[in-house]
Structure 1
Amino acid sequence: MSVFRSVVRRHCYCSVVAVRIRNFSANSSSAAENFLTHLQEGAAQIEKNLDTVKTKLDARCVAQVLERCAIDKPQLGLRFFVWAALRPTHRHTSFMYEKACKSLGIDRNPRIIIDVMDKYRDEGLAVSLKMLKVVLNLCKSAKDDNLGMLVLRKMKEFNCRPDTVSYNVVIRLLVEKGRMDEAMALMTEMGLIDLYPDMITYVSIIKGLCDAGRLKDSVSLIRDMKMQGCPPNSVVYSSLLDGICRHKSLETALEFLDTMEKENGSCKPNVVTYTTMIKGFVEKGRASEAVTILDKMYDSGHKPNRVAFVSLLDGLCREDRLDEARRVVDKYGGGEFPYDDLYSLLVVSVLRSGNPKESESMIRSMIARGLRPSGLASSHVVRNLVSEGRVVDAFSLLDALEKSGNLAHVDGGVYSTLLAELCRKNNFADAEKVVGVMVEGRIFVKSCLAASIIEHLDSSGECDLASEVSKIVR
């Protein structure tokens, strides 16, 4: 009886939820219809008509209005979107900006924005800076630098003075398209109207200059930052350091790092700074020297993260410096970064470097020593053994992982691949063991492999095993 009551309560709860969802959907649809009606009443007083609507505005309602307008009235949809953004009880998310951009076809037909702004002007509508910043954010979502520049220039037509945020949006768009001279010209223009670039402005342009290899201009801009009372922080210096590593000598990068280490406050190097240096040395084939950067990082009180270790271990293994890689693991394994995890990263790095036998030997050594290989390392090694056709060895390794209690970390897809290969080679005894492990661990066979596995088992007379496999197909 108690079970029956539980089921009834669950059914009632689900029914209530379903009704609420339907009511929410109906209410949103009703609200959207209300807004659409007012949108189409009086072409010259759209915003005034919308102001009279007392219906609650939410993201779902906005999306529904946009979808309806997208068919043949994109300009009305755009005006509604801008109006909605200024409501005190509503705020568009970045996702909604992207949705509006795609629904209204702004990314395909940017002219729609200019046409709407012309309508604003022709109708004598009081246009505020907030409205135009909404339009700029749509340009940002469309990743249209030319459109962003046009909107910025049209602000004067509405007696709106762009602010720093407005300039930053356009500057970032220009930087993303590699138009650095124009981006820098806009920054200079800001000073002419008593606006001052902020940290966002400088970081955008400095990163763009570094990406373009214009390091002298980057250094010059950092000097300007100091003169303007906007002292550069570690983010700025890290961007410059990344550019130096990619476009200049690593010795220069080391000198710059030493300068940063002597600085005080926000200019001192952080985890990102040191990781950038490590990656820079590794990419230039100087992984052994990158170890010294790791030491400096640790000595400065910063704990190396996973990215730093992966970059360094990959580089050392590619350069056939396995002994040095082992020393890194022995030195830094434990404490903040568990030894098992760091050794597992080394196993993967060795495999990626083209040394599968060594990686297999290392993971078996981990198991023998009572260490816990990560799921990533275990899965990579087993999958590689299967791809080499060494299914017996792959099964043996899985068996060892199971006995050591580490099987749960292995990727489920590895079992399906191994099972398929064992069946293909008619190794049904081991295949049955793999299926047993999968059943116990609730691991499913990949649907793309299931049909061929079951068909092969049936044709081979292994009907019982085929039946067991069919029970764990996802």
Structure 2
Amino acid sequence: MAEKLMREMSLHGLCSDLITYMAIVEGFCDTGRAEDAYSVLKVMRMHGCEPNLVVWSAALDGLCKCGSMERALELLDEMKKGGKFSLNVVSYTSVIQSFCKRGQWIEALDILDRMRFFGCHANHVTVFTLIKSLCVEGCVEEAYRLVDKFVMEYRVSYGDCCSSLVISLVRIKRLEEAEKLFSGMLASDVKPDTLACSLLLKELCMKDRVLDGFRLLDALENMGCLSSIDSNIYSILLVRLCQRSHLVEATKLAKIMLKKSVWPRPPYKHSAVDILIQNGEKDLVKQLSNMHKGLR
């Protein structure tokens, strides 16, 4: 109906404006008709309405989602040749993601090199996209080499790169390797990101390695890396420590939670509180409770 209306407008000598064309481009992309979205760009220019970066990017994203990678590369070249736009990292990363989904690493890395050539720096999403895809395909050694490449050639922080690799290793069930890399980061005073910390801590808890989890959390606390850790992680770890009678560690963790204003959450709350009270930590529980009331 939208196409029909645009044809009627044309027959009556009415020209569509940028907003109308943008709506059509997005509509074609949303319904998987990326080639039609690409054609709209030509129609726009024929009618003297020059596409802006938002329109170009929408068409590019649609082509990538539909798997029209050759056309997407053509569009990238057109966007650069026009000289009117400075392509951003989002546009390039969209193309890289699509190549990664198809296992086309050479093409994905070529786009990465193209980004650098045109002065567009990779961000943590670009890094994670490539590293995750390589790990999922079992190309872990290539992922390690890519970390070095990102750090040396693309000016991405070592912490961001290694955090992405830790996350990817945990997700492909290579926990021991993820731990080794994570420990190496801490030993070198490299701060991991929040997701890497939370994911590794949760995995250790799920593997019933609560003391290892506590030691890791304690080390992260000393480095100041716990500001955004999921509060459920504290709760799970506290309950597991209590259940395993690691009361010294449980008490220390409860004090960390008090310091950070973190209250145990259901379904962990009652178990942890009961065990702490049974072991003479009524005052600590009272402080936690008062802190919780204050937050409410």
TM-score under structure 1 length normalisation:
0.56
- Which residue of 77, 83, 90 maps to 1:264? 83
Per the alignment, do residues 384 and 286 of structure 1 end up closer, same or farther by CA in structure 2, a change over 3 Å counting?
A: same
The CA deviation string for residues 366-409 of structure 1, in whole angstroms up to 9 with x for no partner, is: 00111111222112111111112111110121122234443445
- Which residue of 406, 425, 450 maps to 2:244? 425
Bigger drift between 188-197 and 201-210 goes to 188-197
- Which residue of 269, 273, 283 maps to 2:91? 273
Are 1:303 and 2:121 counterparts?
yes
Which sections of structure 2, spanning at least 5 residues, go unmatched? none
Per the alignment, do residues 420 and 243 of structure 1 end up closer, same or farther by CA in structure 2, a change over 3 Å counting?
A: same
CA distance in 2: counterparts of 1:442 and 1:211, whole angstroms: 44
Alignment partner, residue 438 of structure 1: 257
Q: Percent identity?
A: 38
Q: 1:240 deviation in Å?
A: 2.7
Are 1:290 and 2:120 counterparts?
no
Alignment partner, residue 236 of structure 1: 55
The CA deviation string for residues 300-331 of structure 1, in whole angstroms up to 9 with x for no partner, is: 11122333222222212211222332333333
Alignment partner, residue 362 of structure 1: 181
Does the aligned pair in 2 maintain the 1:282–1:312 contact within 8 Å? yes
Are 1:322 and 2:148 counterparts?
no
Alignment partner, residue 219 of structure 1: 38
Give the 5 Å matches for 1:125-204.
182-204=1-23
Per the alignment, do residues 412 and 219 of structure 1 end up closer, same or farther by CA in structure 2, a change over 3 Å counting?
A: closer
Per the alignment, do residues 316 and 457 of structure 1 end up closer, same or farther by CA in structure 2, a change over 3 Å counting?
A: same
Which structure ranks higher in relative contact order (CA pairs < 8 Å, sequence separation ≥ 6)? Answer: 2
Does the aligned pair in 1 maintain the 2:35–2:63 contact within 8 Å? no
CA distance in 2: counterparts of 1:293 and 1:346, whole angstroms: 20
Are 1:376 and 2:195 counterparts?
yes
Alignment partner, residue 116 of structure 1: none
- Which residue of 157, 165, 169 maps to 1:346? 165
Does the aligned pair in 1 maintain the 2:276–2:285 contact within 8 Å? no
The CA deviation string for residues 314-349 of structure 1, in whole angstroms up to 9 with x for no partner, is: 212211222332333333338864322332232223
Per the alignment, do residues 221 and 436 of structure 1 end up closer, same or farther by CA in structure 2, a change over 3 Å counting?
A: closer
Per the alignment, do residues 281 and 224 of structure 1 end up closer, same or farther by CA in structure 2, a change over 3 Å counting?
A: same
Does the aligned pair in 2 maintain the 1:234–1:270 contact within 8 Å? no
Q: How many residues align?
A: 289
TM-score under structure 2 length normalisation:
0.86
- SS across alignment from 1:265: coil
CA distance in 2: counterparts of 1:213 and 1:402, whole angstroms: 48
CA distance in 1: counterparts of 2:268 and 2:26, whole angstroms: 47
Per the alignment, do residues 466 and 414 of structure 1 end up closer, same or farther by CA in structure 2, a change over 3 Å counting?
A: farther
- RMSD between aligned residues: 2.5
CA distance in 1: counterparts of 2:209 and 2:225, whole angstroms: 21
CA distance in 1: counterparts of 2:34 and 2:218, whole angstroms: 55
Per the alignment, do residues 443 and 203 of structure 1 end up closer, same or farther by CA in structure 2, a change over 3 Å counting?
A: same
Q: 1:364 deviation in Å?
A: 0.9
Which sections of structure 1, spanning at least 5 residues, go unmatched? 1-181
Bigger drift between 339-348 and 378-387 goes to 339-348
Equivalent AA in structure 2 for residue 323 of structure 1: E
- SS across alignment from 2:45: helix
CA distance in 2: counterparts of 1:183 and 1:231, whole angstroms: 20
Q: 1:444 deviation in Å?
A: 2.6
Per the alignment, do residues 454 and 270 of structure 1 end up closer, same or farther by CA in structure 2, a change over 3 Å counting?
A: closer
Alignment partner, residue 82 of structure 1: none
- SS across alignment from 1:377: helix
CA distance in 2: counterparts of 1:356 and 1:384, whole angstroms: 8
Are 1:398 and 2:217 counterparts?
yes
